[in-house]
Structure 1
Amino acid sequence: MTRVIRFHQHGGPEVLRIEDVAVPPPAQGEVQIRVKALGLNRAEAMLRAGNYIETPTLPSGLGYEAAGIVDRIGEGVQGFAPGDAVSVVPPPTMLRWPAYGEVVNFPARFVVKHPPSLSWEAAAAVWMQYLTAYGALIDIAKLGKGDFVAVTAASSSVGLAAIQIANRVGATPIAVTRTSAKRQALLELGAAHVVASAEEDLAGRLKEIAGPQGVRVVLDPIGGPIFEPLTDAMSHGGILLEYGALSSEPTPFPLFTVLSKALTLRGYLVHEIIGDPTRLAAAKAFILDGLASGALKPVIARTFPFEQIVDAHRFLESNQQFGKIVVTV
């Protein structure tokens, strides 16, 4: 028997329970991992609350990211051995392979030997944030030297990853955050500019920063009214990548701005990178190289012990964090 975290009904963090279950041996092509740390994501809070793109059968496990030690390997698995330090690329569904547990099974294709210099906490905080930012900025938008990129929700784990990736390829990252409270921290992490959207004229400040060139790439998980000032500041032929829906307000379609500037507004989910072996291999290579060189470095907002998963989810939904929330096992 091993401890896992599940929920039997949708609701707030308090519905999460730690339960003892029997974990089967790894199936063919799977790796069994003794977990040392978990990385938390908003998708898990949305699944728990009943607001996610997947509908679970209850009771349900949850969780996309883990790091730990290989315990056993299933039939046909090559390249891994018991004792290896590994981390997990988020699979297509957390319902089939939930990460919140002391021992978990994952397909070998989603298991990675990470740089040994990474702590368990950092290793558990790598893949969702960097794959999401890489897929949008590098794979799709082809962000490069001289580009201006506006990153909203900039203090989130994906936002911070996007700032690091932009710097790595020579682009200019503009961090967009609600208030100026996190301005200095964002600048210290590598943002070239910070715009507080609740305190400043967002479109005006972005235009002032980018000048006649405009902002070619926007990475946004919010939607809602922010769409209009963001597109107003974009360059001709620019691309806005929407990877979330944090705003509870309607998202307007800025028709005339889109037409006059020939803009691309594109929905994006990280699973399109994860589900394509060729694109995933390129992403892994980019990220592992960045981790090894120090150009990419996960920012940990706070760690919680496994027994405090309810408190960890409360903090996840507080919007107070700067970086990734990690749970140690």
Structure 2
Amino acid sequence: MKAKTVLFDEVGAPEVLRIEEVELGAPGPGEVRVRVEAMGLNRSEALFRAGAYYYAPDLPASRIGAEAAGVIEEVGPEVEGFAAGDPVTVLATAAGAMSAYGVYAERVNVPASTLFRRHPSVDAVTGAATWLSYLTAYGALVEIGGLRPGDTVLITAASSSVGIAAIQVANLVGAVPIAVTRTVAKREQLLKAGAARVITLDEDDLVALMDALTDGAGARVVFDAVGGPEVSRLAGTVARDGMLIVYGSLDGRPTPLPPHWPLAVYGFALPAVLDHDDRKRRATAFIESGLRSGALSPLIDRTFPLHAIADAHRHLEGNGQVGKIVVTVGLGDGLREARRATSA
């Protein structure tokens, strides 16, 4: 069997991505074959493609992609608990996983350990937009940050898919989410998505405004996707006995240890949840419950067909999105053109 698969032979701009028919054998021990219906795009994949991620692609002909939703077509030996026909989400997040198991494809063989069950009521686009973002937001804010009702949480890069997830998770917990964005252009969308207040860095003094908004107390948790030298300024918004959680490095420059003491600083990555059975179980229950109730609902910024994968990456790097960018595979005429969500 052959499957259209996105590959790249050199690191660089979105133009390095190409689609090729790749021979796909039967799933091996511990693996399943998934017919992919939608892939969620993440900033990590753009960094991986550009050679700026924390591990390098295995070139030439590296695969790419960490998050997809689809249906199991075949189960390999030594797989228990999954069967052909099961709707699932795939998270290929382990170190080195994208080169071997990148999910930008029509079909993929992946380890069963990378699967999350997808309730039949959750469509593929929603499934591809959910797990990486909400596991990150819940894991960092609740499991690590101990976010509680009434706490204030400051969320940078709030218009990203993880930022939107963090706003919703904070609201579900009963906390107060304050969104940070670069310009006023996304203010109304972030308020509509549930932010209690939006701080725009081009107009507002971050530290002074947070001091005013919290009567000098600061944020119980600061959740940062950017890193770099600005972390020192962010540290000035953290409440006494609060926590600064850094989960991304969009700035690209080294992140200094802030000289604000006492201060708890935590570098978050998904293994902090996925490698701990109890945390993973609680996170899964929280997210599934939130999806069922509608309290958690990923905001889809735009969809692209698979053949426009380079355009999807250009849109991702344009920083104009609010929410998740999704690439679809064979989901019908209604998704041939990009669509923009109007509500969370």
Same fold (TM over 0.5): yes
Question: Mapping of 1:67-146 within 5 angstroms?
Answer: 67-92=69-94, 93-146=97-150
Which segment drifts farther, 290-299 or 93-102? 93-102
Match of 1:289 in 2: 289
Match of 1:206 in 2: 210
Q: Aligned with 2:230: secondary structure?
A: helix
Match of 2:247 in 1: 243
Q: Please say if residues 114 and 288 of structure 1, whose CA atoms lie closer than 8 Å, have aligned partners that are also in contact.
A: no
Name structure 2 gaps, 5 residues minimum: 330-344
Q: Aligned with 1:61: secondary structure?
A: coil
Change (3 A) 1:288 1:312: same
Structure 1 position 117, deviation (Å): 2.3
Which residue identity is paired with 2:73? D
Q: Please say if residues 148 and 173 of structure 2, whose CA atoms lie closer than 8 Å, have aligned partners that are also in contact.
A: yes
Q: Please say if residues 90 and 127 of structure 1, whose CA atoms lie closer than 8 Å, have aligned partners that are also in contact.
A: no
Q: Distance in 1 between matches of 2:214 and 2:104?
A: 42
Q: Distance in 2 between matches of 1:240 and 1:26?
A: 42
Structure 1 position 294, deviation (Å): 0.8
TM-score (norm 1): 0.95
Q: Distance in 2 between matches of 1:113 and 1:253?
A: 39
Q: Distance in 1 between matches of 2:37 and 2:256?
A: 43
Change (3 A) 1:249 1:110: closer
Which residue identity is paired with 1:157? S
Question: Mapping of 1:129-278 within 5 angstroms?
Answer: 129-255=133-259, 258-259=260-261, 262-278=262-278
Q: Aligned with 1:146: secondary structure?
A: coil
Over the matched positions of the two proteins, sequence identity in percent amounts to 49
Which residue identity is paired with 1:217? V
Q: Aligned with 1:213: secondary structure?
A: coil
Q: Deviations over 1:177-235 (max 9, x none)?
A: 11111111111111011100121111011111122332110010112343233211211
Q: Distance in 2 between matches of 1:298 and 1:117?
A: 15
Q: Please say if residues 39 and 125 of structure 1, whose CA atoms lie closer than 8 Å, have aligned partners that are also in contact.
A: yes
Q: Distance in 2 between matches of 1:39 and 1:224?
A: 26
Q: Distance in 1 between matches of 2:302 and 2:26?
A: 32
Match of 1:35 in 2: 36
Q: Distance in 2 between matches of 1:251 and 1:198?
A: 21
Structure 1 position 278, deviation (Å): 3.0
Structure 1 position 85, deviation (Å): 1.4
Which segment drifts farther, 137-146 or 71-80? 71-80
Which residue identity is paired with 1:150? L
Q: Please say if residues 70 and 83 of structure 1, whose CA atoms lie closer than 8 Å, have aligned partners that are also in contact.
A: yes
Q: Distance in 1 between matches of 2:128 and 2:44?
A: 16
Q: Aligned with 2:99: secondary structure?
A: coil
Q: Distance in 1 between matches of 2:158 and 2:253?
A: 20
Which segment drifts farther, 90-99 or 13-22? 90-99
Q: Distance in 2 between matches of 1:323 and 1:282?
A: 24
Structure 1 position 250, deviation (Å): 5.0
Q: Distance in 2 between matches of 1:130 and 1:142?
A: 16
Q: Aligned with 1:224: secondary structure?
A: coil
Pairs aligned (count):
325
Structure 1 position 24, deviation (Å): 2.0
Match of 2:24 in 1: 23
Q: Distance in 1 between matches of 2:255 and 2:100?
A: 32
Q: Please say if residues 92 and 102 of structure 2, whose CA atoms lie closer than 8 Å, have aligned partners that are also in contact.
A: no
Aligned CA RMSD, in angstroms, stands at 1.4
Match of 2:49 in 1: 48
Which segment drifts farther, 79-88 or 187-196? 79-88
Which residue identity is paired with 1:192? A
Q: Deviations over 1:62-95 (max 9, x none)?
A: 1001111110011122222212211113431222
Q: Aligned with 1:96: secondary structure?
A: helix
Q: Please say if residues 115 and 291 of structure 1, whose CA atoms lie closer than 8 Å, have aligned partners that are also in contact.
A: no
